[in-house]
Amino acid sequence: MNDAGTDGRHADAVAADETVVEPPDEFRESAAVADDDDVYDAFERDWPDAWGRAADLLDWERDPDTVLDDSNPPFYQWFPDGRLNAATNCVDRHLDERRNQLAIRWFGKRGERRSYTYADLHREVNAAAAGLRELGVEEGDVVTLYLPMIPELPVTMLACARIGAPHNVVFAGLSADALATRIDAADSAYLVTCDGYYRREDAFNQKSRADNARLQADGSLEATVVVDRLGDALDVPLGEDEHDYGTLLAPHDGETVEPVARDATDLLFVMYTSGTTGRPKGVEHATGGYLAHVAWTTRNVLDVRPTDTYWCAADIGWITGHSYGVYGPLALGTTTVLYEGSPDYPDRDRVWDLIERNAVSVFYTSPTAIRSFMKWGAEYPEAHDLSSIRLLGTVGESITPKAWHWYREHVGGGDAPVVDTWWQTETGAIALATLPGVSDMKPGKVGPPLPGIDARVVDRDGDPVEAGEAGYLTIDRPWPGMCRGLREGDERYRREYWAETTEGWRYRTGDGATVDEDGYVTILGRVDDVINVRARRFNTAELESAIVAADGVTEAAVVGDDSGGVIAYVTTRGDVDPDPILRESIERRVANAVGEVARPDRVVFTPELPKTRSGKIMRRLLEDIARGEEFGDVSALRNPEVVGEIESTVREEE
Ligand code: WTA
């Protein structure tokens, strides 16, 4: 047993399903990477130079001669002597071949639609770039974007990239406090926001939240641009140094702004992400390595082509939306779907309706979303023609074998490859996944590291663990998409993530994992999700996967209570009565799969689990409730209203 939380026997429960699923022949034949490409060997033989293949997917203003400068670890520089512009790569270079092909198909909350061809996108990105310049934005100035899922978000990201101004996207659902912190921390003088957006039927005033943030921020904001999302639905007066987006762009319509060639190592964007403690960290991504790795994985892992209509359902306010909602698909010149609404509005078939309407061929979402779909029922996808789907992807947390099979069967027509992709804000792009035309899939296991990624599962002393034993997921050699550092400084970056070993520098992911005989990695969750149950350590994921294996259970979260026991919070399918029999069956399953020692002391049924906006279950909050402790601000949750409900259920049962 080691510090990552569990011993091997227990960890195996996470992926109790030992099914191996081969890539379908038809997919294999046309996949971006085929078996006989020998891509794993090529990367092994020729590392790091093999990563030049990723750089080759981009257009460079000056081609890089050097692939990697590792002279100052862990501050690695990828393609350091290359120069490029990210916006040119995502827009201009497609004009010759596909100027009239759709780049973005947008669907608004009220059923509105807008489509942008690559020519349209080029025109608006240029006008926005000119507008930002007019306000005084120069190369290197950080522009904060606080926008919902509307086309102006990718447009302004690309406009920033065009003029070499790093963007700092703040998820539109975050509070004024969170926005103020991020404006200050990023030292940003410019803000782009909107009047508001619809929440269900109501117009929500985003601008007033931005105003509050501006009051709280340290006064460095010089100008604000306000997109008119709601028309007459909200009256939002503009103050001094506030500019209407449309009015700002109008005189620049048709203008071309010369793209600023950037060093590959120059900052493309900063993205704040929550750490284990304290304030969010500003993760900095460099232009060349990031874009190359994102393009390479969009092509080879998600198998996206220009001819696809592709949909990454993640919000652009998080890293997945940056890499695989904007930069990846547009760098490859594909058509991408942008959806503003929620998956169950106006009805629970909205996602399937959009896939059918757009003939989406590649769909990328999270296990959390898939669990909701399961909970709502297979009748929703079954009512639609989803035969356009060629590949499915998942990201963000472990997917249970049950959810994996459901996704493949009901969304993927029973035969689409499902790629489970592991990565982080800091890794920039996918680092672990199967190659869909090459590797067998093992539901519940992410898969091996991608070619060129040196991921290992190690014990406390840094030695590789035996197959099946839990350890820490680490990455030994650098990779192109890695962040170049933290806004908070080099020292913090080194301390948070890196360890020096006898073999060199090692990146610590913060995740616990096991690896099997074939090198397939199973993610056990964050190392800090480890819970102590009667003085034995378990990872939440192993208990939870045992629980969700029970018939009728849709989601579960386990936390330790104050007597060393474990409480399981469980949601069930709508038609299932959470009765004592189910309770007993859940407890028994955990005892069987993991051991008596982990048998939940209490099972609390709840209609929903509290989630962050990015869909992560807020375990700490559930732990506070379990322990009868005060819990902090819940306003950052997607569903703050469930907290009170859960608390009263727990108290009632006591
Ligand atoms: C978790 C999201 C299991 C993991 C792209 C990681 C996953 C954290 C997977 C990063 C996966 C991501 N299976 N766990 N396929 N993908 N994670 O920064 O704990 O929002 O450390 O990036 O999500 O979350 P982040």
Task: Ligand 1 pocket test: pick from 514, 523, 613 the residue with the most ligand atoms within 8 Å of its Cβ.
Answer: 523
Residues 286-305 have a mean pLDDT of 98
Distance of CA 508 from the midpoint of ligand 1 (Å)? 13
Q: What is the pLDDT of residue 238?
A: 94
Distance of CA 320 from the midpoint of ligand 1 (Å)? 10
Distance of CA 398 from the midpoint of ligand 1 (Å)? 8
Distance of CA 423 from the midpoint of ligand 1 (Å)? 5
Nearest Cα residue to atom 22 of ligand 1: 424
In whole angstroms, what is the distance from residue 37 CA to residue 27 CA? 15
Give 522's strand partners. Answer: 514
Residues 432-446 have a mean pLDDT of 96
In whole angstroms, what is the distance from residue 167 CA to residue 262 CA? 14
Does ligand 1 come within 6 angstroms of the Cβ of 612? no
Distance of CA 396 from the midpoint of ligand 1 (Å)? 4
- pLDDT(12) > 70: no
Distance of CA 509 from the midpoint of ligand 1 (Å)? 10
175 or 648, which is more confident? 648
* pLDDT band at 5; cut points 50, 70, 90: very low
- pLDDT(6) > 60: no
- pLDDT(422) > 70: yes
Question: Going by C-beta distance under 8 Å and a sequence separation of 6 or more, which residues neighbour residue 641?
Answer: none
Nearest Cα residue to atom 12 of ligand 1: 396
Does ligand 1 come within 6 angstroms of the Cβ of 604? no
* pLDDT, tens digit, 9 for 90 and up, residues 201-223: 889 999 999 999 999 888 789 99
- pLDDT(285) > 60: yes
Distance of CA 205 from the midpoint of ligand 1 (Å)? 31
Distant-in-sequence contacts of 411-416, Cβ < 8 A, 24+ apart:
411/352, 411/355, 411/363, 411/373, 411/381, 411/386, 412/386, 413/386, 413/387, 413/389, 415/24, 416/24, 416/27, 416/389, 416/390, 416/391, 416/392
Q: What is the pLDDT of residue 476?
A: 95
* pLDDT band at 30; cut points 50, 70, 90: very high
181 or 142, which is more confident? 142
Residues 392-405 have a mean pLDDT of 92
By percentage, how much of the chain surpasses pLDDT 90? 70
Q: What is the pLDDT of residue 10?
A: 34
Residues 451-462 have a mean pLDDT of 94
Nearest Cα residue to atom 14 of ligand 1: 397
- Predicted TM-score (pTM) above 0.90: no
Residues 60-84 have a mean pLDDT of 98
- Token pair for 402: 């049950």
* pLDDT, tens digit, 9 for 90 and up, residues 247-267: 999 999 999 999 999 999 999
Question: Going by C-beta distance under 8 Å and a sequence separation of 6 or more, which residues neighbour residue 16?
Answer: 401, 444, 545, 546, 549, 593
Q: What is the pLDDT of residue 562?
A: 67
* pLDDT band at 4; cut points 50, 70, 90: very low
- What is the atom index within ligand 1 of the atom nearest the CA of 433? 15
- pLDDT(535) > 80: no
Distance of CA 302 to the CA centre of its chain: 14
* pLDDT band at 173; cut points 50, 70, 90: confident
Does ligand 1 come within 6 angstroms of the Cβ of 608? no
Does ligand 1 come within 6 angstroms of the Cβ of 396? yes
- Token pair for 539: 């990872």
- What is the atom index within ligand 1 of the atom nearest the CA of 446? 15
Nearest Cα residue to atom 8 of ligand 1: 424
Distance of CA 613 from the midpoint of ligand 1 (Å)? 14
* pLDDT, tens digit, 9 for 90 and up, residues 576-602: 888 889 999 999 888 776 667 778 999
Return the beta strands (E) in 411-503 as ranges.
418-421, 455-458, 471-475, 485-486, 498-501
Length of the chain: 654
* pLDDT band at 522; cut points 50, 70, 90: very high
What's the mean pLDDT when you consider all of the chain? 90
* pLDDT band at 279; cut points 50, 70, 90: low
174 or 31, which is more confident? 31
- What is the atom index within ligand 1 of the atom nearest the CA of 420? 15
Hey, is 587 helix, strand or coil?
Answer: helix
* ipTM of the modeled complex: 1.00
- pLDDT(275) > 70: no
* pLDDT, tens digit, 9 for 90 and up, residues 232-252: 888 899 999 999 999 999 999
Amino acid (1-letter code) at residue 185 = A
- Whole-angstrom CA distances from 413 to 258, 263, 410 are 46, 44, 6
By percentage, how much of the chain surpasses pLDDT 70? 93
In whole angstroms, what is the distance from residue 149 CA to residue 631 CA? 31
- What is the atom index within ligand 1 of the atom nearest the CA of 509? 21
Question: Going by C-beta distance under 8 Å and a sequence separation of 6 or more, which residues neighbour residue 514?
Answer: 8, 11, 12, 14, 457, 465, 467, 468, 469, 470, 471, 521, 522, 524
- Whole-angstrom CA distances from 275 to 63, 366, 492, 526 are 36, 20, 12, 11
> Which of 6-15, 235-244, 324-333, 369-378 has the highest average model confidence (pLDDT)?
324-333
Question: Going by C-beta distance under 8 Å and a sequence separation of 6 or more, which residues neighbour residue 178?
Answer: 170, 280, 636
- pLDDT(38) > 80: yes
Distance of CA 565 from the midpoint of ligand 1 (Å)? 27
Q: What is the pLDDT of residue 1?
A: 30
Produce one character per residue of 337-365: b if its CB has 16 or more CB atoms within 10 Å, e if not: bbbbbebeeeebbbbbbbbbebebbbbbb
What angle separates helix 540-548 from helix 580-593, to the nearest 10 degrees? 130
Q: What is the pLDDT of residue 17?
A: 63
Does ligand 1 come within 6 angstroms of the Cβ of 188? no
Report whether 586 contacts 603 (CB < 8 A).
yes
- Token pair for 145: 């974007």
Distance of CA 644 from the midpoint of ligand 1 (Å)? 28
Nearest Cα residue to atom 25 of ligand 1: 424
Element (H, E) at 531: strand 530-533
Distance of CA 80 to the CA centre of its chain: 27
Cβ-in-10-Å burial (0-12, 13-18, 19+) of 184 comes to middle
Domains annotated for the chain, with CATH where assigned, are 533-653 (3.30.300.30)
Amino acid (1-letter code) at residue 50 = A
Distance of CA 616 from the midpoint of ligand 1 (Å)? 10
Q: Reduce the secondary structure of 220-238 to three states and give it as a string.
A: CCCEEEEECCCHHHCCCCC
